[in-house]
Structure 1
Amino acid sequence: MQAFADPTAYKLKVKRPGSDESRELNVDLLETFNWLIGLSVRHIAARQIFNAAFERDSEKRLQLDGRLKQDASGPYWFRTVSGSTPDGRKTLVIWRKLTGEPEQDNLVLDEWFAKQSCSARDSEFDLIYVNGGNNLENLKTPDALWKVRLIEEDFHRLMFEADGV
């Protein structure tokens, strides 16, 4: 869903009761998603903002030209929420701003994920949610047990599908 490309800019058209008039309201996707999955929040991290330069290697694969650099004016940002679901699964939710360049967005996510030592703490989480297409499953070590899910899919299912239908 393109609407989740910038989680801070999500808007919803809300109809005023008793009229045909509607207005756009900002929706706090982070808090709404926590509520939808029943997350008992342990920690909400501050947003981290980065800049990156890219190059192609000899086999035309995209790679970083240098390192991922913290930069308040950078186009890439991440914000995480950790906690547990009602069934006891330790959960990490990764929110990020997508630029519309999936190959770059995913490379930056992979680098950020490795830099955060998430991979070193594989056993800490049972479930990892992330917005936007990604390839985090490919970063799992053989002994890692965590599973990656798309925020958009569960958000849509939990928000808009009626029970028992």
Structure 2
Amino acid sequence: MQPSILTRIAWRTLLALVIFNAISAVGGAIAMLFTNGLGMPQSALDGGPFTSYFLPALILLIAIGGTHTLSTVLLLRRRKSCLFWTAVAGFAMIIWILTETAIIRGFSWLQGIYFGAGVAELALVFAMLGIVSWLPRIDLGIGKTPKS
């Protein structure tokens, strides 16, 4: 059975979001590591658990960049676990943003974009799993070997 146009759009949107988040997290983390915070004031860390931007950058690289990169690879290969790891990546993004805003005691439009991206990832995963009625679950051919 061929996936519907709505399912194909959802799949491509999910893949685009995950790729965007992977590139942003890995690039941002590497930049933070080499610039000690990308110009963010050291005072933003006052009262929090970190004394420099090194550990937050490392966490961003591994927890957000790593899960999104893994999710990207699994989605592109259409592995059975791709939706699971995409949900993990989406939850990680949401937790990252909520924790970040609590530590720095502030909020910016950029955090809103990434929070929204994490929520959108989860919404699309739930839709692909058939949890929402507007996009019924169908066989996407995930985990199957192509016929010769």
**Normalising by structure 2, what TM-score?**
0.28
**Normalising by structure 1, what TM-score?**
0.26
Q: Comparing both chains, which one has the higher relative contact order based on Cα–Cα distances under 8 Å and sequence gaps of 6 or more?
A: 2
Identify, as 1 or 2, the structure richer in strand: 1
Identify, as 1 or 2, the structure richer in helix: 2
